[in-house]
Structure 1
Amino acid sequence: MSDSPVGIFDSGVGGTSVWREIHKLLPYENTVYLADSKNAPYGEKSEHEILQLSIKNTEVLLRKGCKLIVVACNTATTNAIGYLRQNYDVPFVGIEPAIKPAALQSRSKIVGVLATKGTLASSLFHSTSGNHARGITVIEREGTGLVPLIEQGKVDSKEIKELLEGYIRPMLEKGIDYLVLGCTHYPYLIPLLKDMLPGTVQIIDSGEAVARQTKSILGEKGTLRTTRSSGHHEFYSNGDLKVLEGFVRNDGLHYSVEKGDF
């Protein structure tokens, strides 16, 4: 079981930002990553559609023998992880916007959240926000259009810069001092965001916390890989392989990128 891979799925290439954090913390673990780019973005879909896609991805990863599944998609976590945990025996690690640390550290008591429509509309997001952001003004913005551009590899494009500026400017005018990234695609926009944000605004994403939780659960279950050799990483996409390859390319990595029918 310890040599079995950690499974990770997302609505596309964005979850590779979470995969990077997991690999950095757990370099010996084998992984299998599913980029469901054909169905991206999840944030525009209904709760039922998101649940069905999450079930499909989970069952693909279980067929590949995964010992733990990371739902590396905020929208899928907030809409489907409760069902997945109730209906499958494998442990799940989810991801949701890091409102709690932002709320605890904010001095202005004004926090911005950039996320998808599906995440912001979910009951889990609202309960998390309600529990951890009392006394905090939370300014929510849907990042409409960002995921499709990232899925096309247009991370540094004029279109994406214009969209970001439109979403960020109103938050800055309201006085945010923390910006929470509520989609795993968005960490790839951090270089652009740093150019737009004053030094007084901190950016928070959840990737590192997910990696720590993954390590903690594997340790509790006794399923951490004991072999001290670099893990092997299988990446599958039902979209453009060149885009996925561009996000994971690493000369020192034992990996493969393949077309998947899922």
Structure 2
Amino acid sequence: MSNQPIGIFDSGVGGTSVYKEIEALLPNENTIYLADSANAPYGNKSAEDILRLSIKNTELLLSRNCKLIVVACNTATTNAITALRASYNVPFIGIEPAIKPASLNSKTKAVGILATKGTLSSQLFHNTTNLYKNDVRVIEQIGEGIVPLIEAGKTLSSEMRTLLTIYLEPMIDADIDYLVLGCTHYPYLLPLLLDILPNHVKIIDSGEAVARQTKAILETQNIINTQTSTARHQFYTNGSTEVMHLLLDKKHKVEFLKF
């Protein structure tokens, strides 16, 4: 079983940011990445639709013998991972906005979070925020329009800069010293975010933490791959293969798959 792949799914290409962290930490592991770009973004969908799509993605990955599934989507994690864990007999690793470290380390007592509507409106997000924010002011911003631009290959475009400037202005005015990225698409915006935000603002995403948790679960379950043969990485999308190629190294092959 240790040779079986890790399955990773997201509402689109954004979860490749999580894949990169997993591949860097676990170079022996085979992976299968599923980009449900045809249904992106998940953030504007109902909880029922998000669960339905997450089940569809999970079953496709399980049909390809995945030993563990990483839900590389904040919206799918906050809305569906509890049901997935109750329904399937494989480990699931989710991703949540890193409110805890931002709140604990904030000096200005103000942190910003940029995320989808589906994440910010979920009960799991509210529970986590209420648990850790203490006396810290949390400025929430729905990233309306960001995912479609990334999925269209316009990650660092002038339209994106305009959108981010509008979204970040209230956070800058509130003197945030941490910005939490609550969507796996958003790490690809780092060049623009660093240019727009004041120098003292630290940006946190959860990709590295997900990789560490994946490694811990593989070790605990005794299913980590110890073989040193070249790992195999498969990428499937029901959207544009060209857009995914923009975010991945040229050595990666991306296949179109209707699902």
The normalised TM-score by structure 2 is: 0.99
Partner in structure 1 of residue 187 of structure 2: 187
| Structure 1 residue 80 corresponds to structure 2 residue 80 | yes
User: What is the distance in 1 between the residues matched to 2:227 and 2:246?
Assistant: 29
The code of the aligned residue for 2:7 comes to G
Moved more, 221-230 or 2-11: 221-230
Could you tell me how far 1:228 is from its partner in structure 2?
1.0
Provide, for residues 103-151 of structure 1, a one-character-per-residue CA deviation record: whole Å limited to 9, x for no partner.
1110011000000000000000000000111111100000000000000
Partner of 2:258: 261
How many matched pairs? Answer: 259
| Matching residue of 2:52 | 52
How big is the shift at 1:250? 3.9
- 2:19 paired residue number: 19
**Residue ranges of structure 2 left out of the alignment (5+ in a row):** none
SS in structure 2 of the partner of residue 70 of structure 1: strand
Aligned partner of residue 4 in structure 2, secondary structure: coil
Q: Which runs of structure 2 are paired with 1:195-210 in the superposition (5 Å)?
A: 195-210=195-210
Distance between the aligned counterparts of 2:173 and 2:254, measured in 1? 43
* Structure-2 residue corresponding to 1:90: 90
Give SS of 2:176's match: coil
Correspondence 1:96-245 to 2 at 5 A: 96-245=96-245
Cα root mean square deviation, aligned: 0.7
CA displacement at 1:34 relative to structure 2? 0.3
Q: Distance in 2 between matches of 1:232 and 1:109?
A: 45
Which deviates further from its counterpart, 165-174 or 225-234?
225-234
Cα deviation code 1:21-77 (max 9, x no counterpart): 000100110000000000000000000000000000000000010000000000000
Once residues 95 and 239 of structure 1 are traced to their aligned partners in structure 2, the CA distance between those partners, rounded to angstroms, is 23
1:64 is aligned to 64
TM-score of the aligned structures, taking structure 1 as reference length:
0.98
CA distance in 2, matches of 1:166, 1:197: 12
Which structure 1 segments of 5+ residues have no match? none
What SS class does the counterpart of residue 44 from structure 1 fall into?
A: coil
1:177 alignment partner AA: D
**Amino acid aligned to 1:112:** G
Structure 1 outlier segments of 4+, above 3 Å: none
